[in-house]
Homo-oligomer: A and B are copies of this chain.
Amino acid sequence: MTEFELIARFFTRPSTRAALGNGDDCALVAPSPGNVFAVTTDTLIEGRHFLPTIDPARLGRRAVHVNLSDLAAMGAAPRFALLSLTLPEINEPWIAAFAQGLWSALDAFDVELVGGNTTRGPLAIAITALGDVPPGAALRRSGATAGDELWVSGPLGDAGWALYSLLPDAAVPGGRRPVATQAQIDRYECPTARVALGQALRGLASSCIDISDGLLSEARHLATASGVSIDIEMAAIPTSIADCNRQPDAALAQQCVLATGDAYELLFTAPAWRREDVTHCLVAHGLQGACIGRVVAADARPTVRVLDAKSQAMSIAINGWDHFA
């Protein structure tokens, strides 16, 4: 099977919404009237963004959701995607399963795959996603102001917990891998981009980001872009690993909640007087989100603090995920 046959067989479907879909040098696409395109690109590398053991259908799904999560964080409606797929070999059952997962995820959001390419090399999946958003309604990182509340759209920590449970002991902080439930492994391998929520937060959230790298890291991005500081209440953060919050796993649980990525929940701020609207919005979308802190004026420079039950700043030695750390 050649590169072109591979693309034709697994990754080509006629487009109904692009001016020109797959199969030419470029696709031709335009935002819907009144909108601009939100555009994002992300690469998933084997061993870095997913384990070699992941089921290929799950990997296809995951690659889509990771990219759509960025669109969700802008309040954009996903419309088109391009796939650049690097494969070490042509393993047809693997590719068929990967494609099935990819298409299922794209179909769930009515996204058309309009281009891309395949090449041979270490397994990597680069996806570019384009979505519609009215230019003035896009959710940016920069709109948070003192007095706003900080929200997260769902539980944190499960994905990191599951990841550590799949690694050898030596790769886990503390030297002992935890035990994860299947539900936690599902959360890690099959994150769900909060696409509908992102659009519902237009005009409601003052700033927004998706949690791909870890809560603290993302909160710092919001704080820096908005020129504010952020206080997070540790006890308010929803997590299903709270019951693991005991020795010897307590430090690891804290690490997972605060600093491991792959949650793909939205982290956003909203004016305090919109608290009820935000709550209704989360409930309407079936999400176990929560208010986890507040935006305060920055002193010398934007800072993110984590507060304990006595509102004292905790000493946090960990950071968000950095691919080069």
Contacts and interface: CB of A to CB of B under 8 A. Distances in A.
Interface of A: 1-4, 6, 19-20, 23-31, 35-43, 45, 47-49, 70-71, 73-74, 76, 80, 82-84, 86-87, 90, 114-122, 124, 126, 128, 130-131, 133, 135, 138, 140-142, 208-210, 225, 322-325
Number of copies: 2
A219 B310 CA distance: 72
Given A3-B323, A28-B74, A119-B323, 4 more contacts: A6-B324, A19-B36, A23-B141, A26-B76
A135 B28 contact: yes
Contact of A74 (B25, B31, B42, B122): B25
Given A84-B41, A140-B20, A48 B119 contact: yes
Nearest to A121: B45
Contact of A70 (B26, B36, B48, B83): B26
Given A126-B43, A324-B118, A28 B24 contact: no
A86 B47 CA distance: 13
B40 A26 contact: yes
Contacts of A35: 30
Nearest to A43: B84
A16 to B, nearest CB: 15
A86 B122 CA distance: 11
A208 B120 CA distance: 26
Question: Chain B CB within 10 Å — which of A24, A117, A124, A225 has the most?
Answer: A24
B3 A322 contact: yes
Given A2-B325, A324-B3, A74 B24 contact: yes
Contacts of A140: 20, 24
Given A2-B324, A324-B3, A324-B6, A128 B82 contact: yes
A315 to B, nearest CB: 21
Contacts of A324: 1-3, 6, 87, 90, 118, 120
Given A135-B19, A140-B20, A325-B2, A36 B28 contact: yes
Contact of A4 (B119, B210, B322): B322
16 contacts: A2-B322, A24-B142, A24-B225, A25-B74, A25-B208, A26-B71, A28-B37, A28-B38, A28-B133, A28-B135, A39-B115, A43-B124, A45-B122, A90-B324, A118-B323, A122-B122
A41 B117 contact: yes
A323 B140 CA distance: 40
B42 A138 contact: no
Contacts of A40: 25-27, 82, 115
A160 to B, nearest CB: 18
A36 B73 CA distance: 25
A86 B114 CA distance: 24
